[in-house]
Amino acid sequence: MAGQGRVRKAACGFVAAGLLALSGCTVGQAPPDTTRQEIQRTLDARAAAVLDHDAGAFGTSGAGGAAGREEFENLADVPLRSWEYRLTEVRRTGDRATADAQLRYRIDGYDTAPVTTARTLELAERDGRWYVTADRPGRDGAQQLWQQGDVDVVRGEHSLVLGVGQDRARLRQIASDADRAVPAVSAAWPGRWAGRVVVLVPDSLDAMGRLLGAPAAGYRGIAAVTTGETGGSGAAPADRVIVNPEAYGALGGFGRRFVLTHETTHVATRAHTSPATPMWLSEGFADWVAHRGTGRTAGQTAPELQRAVRAGDVPRGLPADEDFRFGTQADALARAYEGGWLACELIAERWGADALTDFYRAVGAQPRDEVAVDQALRKVLGTNLEAFTQAWGDYVRARLR
């Protein structure tokens, strides 16, 4: 018993010594670094100022120089529902810091979820507060329209057109074309989608490239493109249709309406378009929707492919994804689009328009592998890829000979 008491006393002495040692470790310890939280507060104030169109509060957060103040003014007419910054990384050196953040914003009445873009912000600390000194696109981030000039806003019945350096009459015409496109797409694509579209119109081809974060030369001759995330639950934000003002401006009335209907189809089908969806189906379906009810002949719709067929050059297989790459020779690119359109027309004619949309959804629901299209063909149309490809070739010859 006596021995046990000594052990107990010794143990108690060890614990006491340990507590003293632990308490001694905290003496002189540096306070926690609150830089991240302080910068987030600055960015929260900046976001609130943008939403409230409060120039004074925006300046208090640090406008980011003359360029930052100009961008704030350029946003004045854009109907924003939300605007926030989410920090991903902060690097501090003395009273300077660089912050990487995700800017998340929604346009009121159009975006069901935030649009996200990477931003890099430079900040300086003065009197215990952080101020934004610069705000630029982050890694892999693209320029935003309001960074290119004052944004002019035109509202249509089903569309919102945002333009920089454009005549308002031209923006109203684009809104009118988009308003015609939306119901045409809804008639061809049954089911839930936003039923509205946002169109961005920069002032040049180069400006278009900056919005896309890609070399402008690759889009020369392309009248418009659609940006957005593929797949998902349907809660993805409304895509942006970005117009190439040079190529779009050279089109006639039919061409402009066709382009906006095609691109609006991509907006409608985005939630059901996945990495498993081949380009011949996504682009062919958009062309099929845009050509519905136009009364144009197959030769008028597919002139390049018709020339090839009449010269004895019938394609051996459905267009491959690489055939649709921007920068491809114009005639080859046209044949790829025309071949995709005829594949979708074949399905609609032989199996029905509802079967075509069911097939589109079935392909998009598949994992990305080599048998996705074949499985969807078997499930929805009762055929297989080999038989369908043969039927498509026969159909191309019959329609274009």
CA 264, 267, 269, 273 torsion-angle sign:
positive
Angle of helix 279-291 relative to helix 353-364, nearest 10 degrees?
Answer: 150
Please give the model's pTM, rounded to 2 decimal places: 0.86
The total of other beta-carbon atoms located within 10 Å of residue 57's CB is 14
User: Angle CA(285)–CA(400)–CA(265) in degrees, nearest 5?
Assistant: 15
Cα–Cα distance between 316 and 309 in angstroms, integer?
A: 11
Q: Scanning the structure block, which residue is given the tokens 């934004």?
A: 132
DSSP at 270 = G
Cα–Cα distance between 167 and 154 in angstroms, integer?
A: 11
**What are phi and psi for residue 258, nearest 5 degrees?**
-60, -45
DSSP letters, 40-105, are: HHHHHHHHHHHHHT-HHHHHHTT--HHHHHHHHHHTTTS-EEEEEEEEEEEEEETTEEEEEEEEEE
The answer to whether the CB of 105 falls within 8 A of the CB of 91 is no
Report which secondary-structure segment, H or E, holds 224: strand 224-227
The contacts of residue 56 (CB under 8 Å, 6+ apart) are 49
Q: What does pLDDT average to in each consecutive run of 10 residues of the chain (401 residues)? A: 40 36 46 88 95 92 83 95 96 96 93 88 94 89 91 97 97 97 96 92 96 88 80 52 95 96 95 94 98 94 96 93 84 95 98 98 89 96 97 96 90
- How many DSSP H helices and E strands does the chain contain? 15, 9
pLDDT at 31: 61
Q: Name the nearest CA neighbour of 141 among 84, 100, 95, 110.
A: 100
Cα–Cα distance between 67 and 72 in angstroms, integer?
A: 9
pLDDT at 230: 44
Cα–Cα distance between 116 and 26 in angstroms, integer?
A: 42
The total of other beta-carbon atoms located within 10 Å of residue 270's CB is 25
Cα–Cα distance between 200 and 215 in angstroms, integer?
A: 18
DSSP letters, 306-334, are: HHHHHTT---SSPPPGGGG-TTS-HHHHH
Output the six-digit token pair for 55. 């120039």
Q: Scanning the structure block, which residue is given the tokens 């609006």?
A: 264
pLDDT at 62: 84
The domains of the chain, with CATH numbers, are 35-141 (3.10.450.50), 143-272 (3.30.2010.30), 274-401 (no CATH)
Bridge partners of residue 57, in order along the sequence: none
pLDDT at 233: 38
